[in-house]
Amino acid sequence: MNAIRFSLDISRKCLLFFILLTLMYLIFPTATAISEVSILPSNQELYPGDTFDIYIYMEPKTPIAGAQLDISYDSDMIKVNNVDGSAFFEQDGISSIFIGGNVDNSQGTINGLFAVTLGKTDVVSAENFAHISFTALENTGNCTINLYNVILSDYSGNALPISIQDAQISIIGQSTTTTPEEVAVSSGGGGGGGGGDTGESPDNIEFKEVNKLYITGNTDVSYTFDDNNNPVKAISYTSLKNAGFISTTIEVLKDVSTTVSQKPAGLIYRNMNIWVGKAGYATENNMESMKISFAVLKKWVQVNDVNTDAIYMNRYNEGKWQVLETEMTGEDDDFYFYEAKTPGFSPFAITANSASENAAESEQVNAASSYEDPGSKEETEEIEAEQVTDESSEFIKDETHSAKLSQNSLLLLLISISFLVILIRTNKL
């Protein structure tokens, strides 16, 4: 009897230990590896007129396959000159796409810096994600360059936990930099190549692709483009006249075209210029049924909470943006494919409305019959939008960790139940 009682005491203690262990695990979750995203160097001291560089440095603690972030800065103190990608997502020969985002020096923001690997591939080595060139303006003082809306994800699209480090800029003293004549000479450089041929600023051209075909009358023409950095996959039309060799040029831009006076409405995926032939060729006398086929990254759609039927091609013409008739035509593992009808060729932009924006528009339509104070309504919508963004961000960051936590907790509970079954059988004996 004493041996049986001793065995029962041991069983009860073991069961109690595992139950307490499970409760402690639920109440005090274990730490998850946190990837780091930093601006380097973290501090710089400058004079007015100085040009300086920062680097977005990423140190993943778990494999990552995609990244997106926004940057804010004091537009009265510094301005962005250029945004370039790095080889971060091209380690070990991996194919990837980098989007430099949309620079707005009037607001002091860079929105939508985005890069992703193609296929189920990821990277683990720390590396620079992006390089950004700034110029210090005439105002002196301190300026913070902030990272926000930062999301790192694995190849399944699951967000990973992160920590962020911003940078501090100090502008002191008087200008000791170049003269206007020197600036005029140095500003003539820049990538893109051939920007002057189309009127686009070379500094705004991120990528350029040209295709040439021999065109005859009464034929269907299709120019195809294969580079992943070019969202345009085909330009097609019906040729009405013999034209000989005609070139089609796609200029993928860092920001809206420098020939455009305003940005299009919505969330911008890519800006571009599309030119077919020389000036005067792309007219209704020479062609008809013009169409643009383009692709949008699935991971960009997912990260930005975009509905696939809310993506459009926009054309800038005669001082205003026109939303073109756009339809989805298919998809593969990495992209959604679309086709847009266009009356001509000029600056273009691929835009989207996020799911939250679509919901807000529906609520406004449903509430149109009732009176609300305009001022209070705008404030309420801004607060609600911020809450949705914050809650969504927190949910995504915790999703992966919660899944692991649930699995481990279930395992401990199963072990506890097993000890309970053993204890009951022992009592029966």
Residue 398, pLDDT score: 45
Strand residues in 216-257 grouped as ranges (E): 219-224, 232-239, 244-253
The first and second tokens of residue 23, run together, are 């409760």
Percent of the chain surpassing pLDDT 90: 41
Q: In this predicted model, what pLDDT tens digit does every residue of 348-404 receive, in sequence order? A: 999 998 655 555 544 444 444 343 444 444 554 554 444 444 444 443 444 444 444
The first and second tokens of residue 254, run together, are 């860092």
Under DSSP, the state recorded for 137 is -
Q: DSSP string spanning 58-117?
A: EE-SS-B-EEEEEEE--TTTEEEEEEEE-SGGGGGG--EEEE--EEETTTTEEEEEEEEE
Residue 228, pLDDT score: 86
Note whether 84 and 270 are within 8 A (CB).
Answer: no
Q: DSSP string spanning 141-196?
A: EEEEEEEEEEEEE-TT--EE-EEEE-EEEEE-SS--S--HHHHHHHTT--SSS-HH
The number of residues in the chain equals 429
Q: In this predicted model, what pLDDT tens digit does every residue of 164-189 receive, in sequence order? A: 999 999 998 654 333 333 333 333 33
Note whether 211 and 223 are within 8 A (CB).
Answer: yes
Lowest mean pLDDT among 15-24, 156-165, 315-324, 358-367: 358-367
Closest CA to 89 of 127, 144, 120: 127
CA distance readout (Å), 20 to 64, 154, 410: 35, 34, 14
User: Is it the case that residue 307 has pLDDT exceeding 80?
Assistant: yes
Local confidence band at 238 (pLDDT 50, 70, 90 cut-offs): very high
227: number of CA atoms within 13 Å, CB side? 12
Local confidence band at 233 (pLDDT 50, 70, 90 cut-offs): very high
Residue 422, pLDDT score: 61
Local confidence band at 17 (pLDDT 50, 70, 90 cut-offs): low
User: Is it the case that residue 314 has pLDDT exceeding 90?
Assistant: yes
| CATH number among 2.60.220, 2.60.40, 3.40.190, 1.10.3210, domain 193-360 | 2.60.220
Residue 123, pLDDT score: 86
How far apart are the C-alpha atoms of 169 and 15, rounded to whole Å? 58
Domain 35-183 class, CATH top level = mainly beta
What is the average pLDDT score of the chain?
78
Q: Positive or negative, the Cα torsion across 354, 339, 207, 343? A: negative
The contacts of residue 320 (CB under 8 Å, 6+ apart) are: none
Residue 377, pLDDT score: 47
Q: How many CB atoms lie within 10 A of CB 115?
A: 24
Cis preceding linkage at 347, omega within 30: no
Mean pLDDT of 274-303: 92
Residue 353, pLDDT score: 85
Note whether 80 and 109 are within 8 A (CB).
Answer: no
Residue 197, pLDDT score: 58
User: Is it the case that residue 270 has pLDDT exceeding 50?
Assistant: yes
pTM as predicted: 0.58
Lowest mean pLDDT among 112-121, 144-153, 200-209, 293-302: 112-121
Domains 35-183 and 193-360 share a fold: no
The structural domains of the chain, with segments of one domain joined by +, span: 2-31+404-428, 35-183, 193-360
